[in-house]
Structure 1
């Protein structure tokens, strides 16, 4: 038994020599060094945690500031500044939203201020007979279609009719007229030309304007070889607009000579517009004699306006 104990101590002594066991003072010195290192590491980790918490608190409390203000840099455990990329969950982003994610601003639809346009009626191929005075109208006889080219009314050199450039289609008829007091076989009271013209664009309105200006610019003028006087009698009160003109000449006897007593023979012109068309009734008298205004206005101008309204209105 004692021999076995001695052999055990001898083996333990041999293993201790191979393990290079440190002496007591050296072991105490290294143990103290490891303890101080653990304290340093623990303190450093605490500093990192404190700095991180301060940084997060700054970011949260400053989210309402200028979005262009950058976050302060993170501080490492060694005290050196660094700017690592912040994780997505660390703090709310201060960058302004991109245009792709910005909410669309509400749009207000404004009502159109453009007035709806009405397409004008097409220019017809011709003027039908029903748009003109006819034999069936009271007092009309010997009606015939005029094939000669239309000539604008004569006033004076100041009268201009630029609307002739806007003429679409036109037709003219000539007739004799006898008033209600005249016998059917008696001498006519008036020789009448009725012309219906359809204009392009504003030509019809322009023509009425030009007629009014002609009367104003030409209170007197020549019609053929005769001196004439022109007076506007105002509107006829029919159609879209109208005008009645008194055209008078010095009275003459049966031989065609002036009577030299100041008397005048009166003839009348009526123009009535309906839309883009105008009916012109031109009474020229008969063999130097004038006509009665009441018959002309009621029987001729009134009937011509009704026919045009029926066709073009």
Structure 2
């Protein structure tokens, strides 16, 4: 991890160590929600600022050293998308399992020829304590030269060309549905470039994020749970977790 990111995390840790918590009676009077919100906001600001800074730093040929307290990147799932770009999108997979946005019936990206490494994993993200949960996926791709930049251009072109598509949902739900992809106006994710998408079908909307840092790409996809999409705040929380792992990622 670059020195700037490590220094920012060290400052945040020192500030947390110096903070004095009020006694339990005071906590009950004032509540802890504002305290948690300030800490989460500060963490998010550090990660997003780090993402913008890291893109401009020189590339390293060896993996960066781990930072104490940072979340290590988990082992990728043995998903065919890791080695076959066609296995990341329909029709090779059902749209409820796509690992990259696929607004058109068939997605062929010339930038796939510049891929040098790809890792994808799936997890269940809990939010609102343990009351809410959503199935989500993150996919990290390393490109040669301008491959990541070309992919973002290809995605934007596909969104214009194919606002909706007809597809079967899943093996257990083979009924064909109209899937609509839309680009949302947003700021704050950082990186060199990013696109926040909504994917709507069967009356529910789900978020998707494509974020570029230099020659690398991070895609975060929300599958929701039991036909319900994930609240924006919960999606943002998972996206920040993915970003923290993305900053540490170096393909083996």
TM bracket, shorter-chain basis:
0.5 to 0.7
The equivalent residue for 1:276 is 215
Per-residue CA distance 1:158-200 (angstroms, 9 max, x = gap): 6432211111011111100121x242xx5x5321111111011
| Distance of aligned partners of 1:122 and 1:216 in 2 relative to their CA distance in 1, 3 Å threshold | farther
Q: Does 1:240 align with 2:192?
A: yes
- The answer to whether the Cα contact below 8 Å between 2:71 and 2:244 also exists between their aligned partners in 1 is no
Output aligned runs, 1:140-155, within 5 Å.
145-150=76-81, 151-152=88-89, 153=100, 154-155=102-103
Q: C-alpha displacement at 1:279, in angstroms?
A: 1.0
| Distance of aligned partners of 1:201 and 1:131 in 2 relative to their CA distance in 1, 3 Å threshold | farther
The equivalent residue for 1:308 is 246
| Distance of aligned partners of 1:301 and 1:156 in 2 relative to their CA distance in 1, 3 Å threshold | same
- The answer to whether the Cα contact below 8 Å between 2:133 and 2:225 also exists between their aligned partners in 1 is yes
Tell me, what secondary structure is at the counterpart of 1:290? coil
TM-score normalised over the length of structure 2: 0.57
- The answer to whether the Cα contact below 8 Å between 1:158 and 1:214 also exists between their aligned partners in 2 is no
Tell me, what secondary structure is at the counterpart of 2:112? helix
Structure 2: stretches of 5+ with no match in the other structure? 1-56, 64-69, 82-87, 90-99, 169-175
Q: C-alpha displacement at 1:308, in angstroms?
A: 2.2
The equivalent residue for 2:125 is 177
Distance, in Å, in 2 between the alignment partners of 1:223 and 1:290 is 18
Q: CA RMSD in A?
A: 2.8
Structure 1: stretches of 5+ with no match in the other structure? 1-117, 135-143, 251-263
Tell me, what secondary structure is at the counterpart of 1:288? coil
Q: C-alpha displacement at 1:230, in angstroms?
A: 1.0
Which has the higher Rg, Structure 1 or Structure 2? 1
Q: C-alpha displacement at 1:247, in angstroms?
A: 0.5
| Distance of aligned partners of 1:305 and 1:145 in 2 relative to their CA distance in 1, 3 Å threshold | closer
TM-score normalised over the length of structure 1: 0.46
- The answer to whether the Cα contact below 8 Å between 1:173 and 1:194 also exists between their aligned partners in 2 is yes
Distance, in Å, in 1 between the alignment partners of 2:146 and 2:72 is 20
Which structure has the higher relative contact order (CA within 8 Å, separation 6+)? Answer: 2
4+ residue runs of structure 1 moved beyond 6 angstroms? none
The equivalent residue for 2:180 is 229
The equivalent residue for 1:208 is 152
| Distance of aligned partners of 1:268 and 1:309 in 2 relative to their CA distance in 1, 3 Å threshold | same
Q: Does 1:265 align with 2:204?
A: yes
Distance, in Å, in 1 between the alignment partners of 2:72 and 2:233 is 22
Q: How many residues are matched? A: 163
